[in-house]
Amino acid sequence: MLVFWKERLVLLAVPKTGTTALEGALAPRAALVLRDPPQIKHSPLYRYRRFIEPLLAAGGASDFETVAVLREPVSWLGSWFRYRTRDDIAGRPNSTRGMTFDAFVEEYCKDRPAPFAQVGQQARYVLNEDGTQGVTHLFRYEEPERLHAFLSERLGLRLDLPRLNESPAMEIALSPATEARLRAARPQEFAVWAMAGRQGTA
């Protein structure tokens, strides 16, 4: 999470959406950088409102806008799946090594998934409790030019993003039947993705 005090802007770090690269480029420009532990770095909107927003208000500002990046749901899960095939967690309960992407997504769709499929939901990072949009500005991971234009204008800089924290390269595909189950089990993920596609930069 990055806080830009002068510009009254907070960048929330939704996991697996390129936020590590954004942090690498923008941290020197930010007034506050929350990078560790991951539970704090990747705080969803409700946690930001509960813990961080009051601190900012205590500093004399209560008019901050929030920004978040969302990734197409299947692609987002694919990134998690690839990330958890890495060598350093092989053999652990959260490893996906040796399984198919379909098996991973099938487990993710359950009410109580196994540790390897416990990756959360993007919608919970950006929505209000009633399911309405809570984050001020939503952008799609797959449309970086919109996000870059917004941040460049708002922060008065030119973005030059490094490639950081990438998942291992791997060709994966989801069967139509499993994708249909995913859409039925997690409709809010696809709804919020559509919401991000309708957002402007104003």
pLDDT at 108 over 50: yes
170 DSSP assignment: -
pLDDT tens by residue, 28-64: 999 999 988 988 999 999 999 999 999 999 988 889 9
Query: pLDDT-derived band of residue 201, with 50, 70 and 90 as boundaries?
Result: very low
Spelled out in words, what is the top-level CATH class assigned to the domain 2-197?
Answer: alpha beta
* Residue 170 pLDDT grade (very low, low, confident, very high; cuts 50, 70, 90): confident
DSSP-assigned states of every residue in 103-140: HHHHHHTSSS--GGG----THHHHB-TTSSB-SSEEEE
Maximum C-alpha span of the chain: 52
Average pLDDT of the segment spanning 129-146: 94
Question: In the prediction, which pLDDT does 166 show?
Answer: 62
Q: Which two tokens mark 6? A: 């002068």
Angle ∠(69,73,139) on CA atoms, nearest 5: 20
* Model confidence, pTM: 0.90
Residue 167 has pLDDT above 70, yes or no: no
- Statement: residue 168 has pLDDT above 70: no
What residue type is 33 in one-letter code? V
Mean pLDDT of the chain: 92
